[in-house]
Amino acid sequence: MTASHSGIKDFIIYRYIITMGGEEVPADVQKLIDLKKSGTKLTESQAKKIKQYHKALANPGKAADKKEKQDAKRARRKESGSVKVINR
């Protein structure tokens, strides 16, 4: 991707954030967006967080359903005493 294409892509991302809903962008997501604008390459998890935020803005109904489902999973896990283990 050339420098000119990168600038256009950043402008589109910036414009998308400004025009979507007029809501306040969460501080952690805003930091990542600013980091991306500065030209720093984001990690996969950082890029995913921005993408998830945009998806939630575009589809608030789906985002609410997903949050409700995830909260129910956490509650069931807490009730059963289960602990989520990440093997690395």
Calculate what percentage of the chain has a pLDDT beyond 70.
74
Q: Work out the pLDDT band at 68, boundaries 50, 70, 90.
A: very high
Report which secondary-structure segment, H or E, holds 68: helix 60-80
Residue 49's pLDDT band (cuts 50, 70, 90): very high
* Helix, coil or strand: residue 25: coil
Helix (H, G, I), strand (E, B) or coil at 40: coil
- Write out the H or E segment, with its range, that includes residue 7: helix 3-19
- Say what the pLDDT of residue 8 is: 56
DSSP 20: S
Contact yes or no for 25/17 (Cβ under 8 A): yes
Residue 71 has pLDDT above 50, yes or no: yes
pTM over 0.85: no
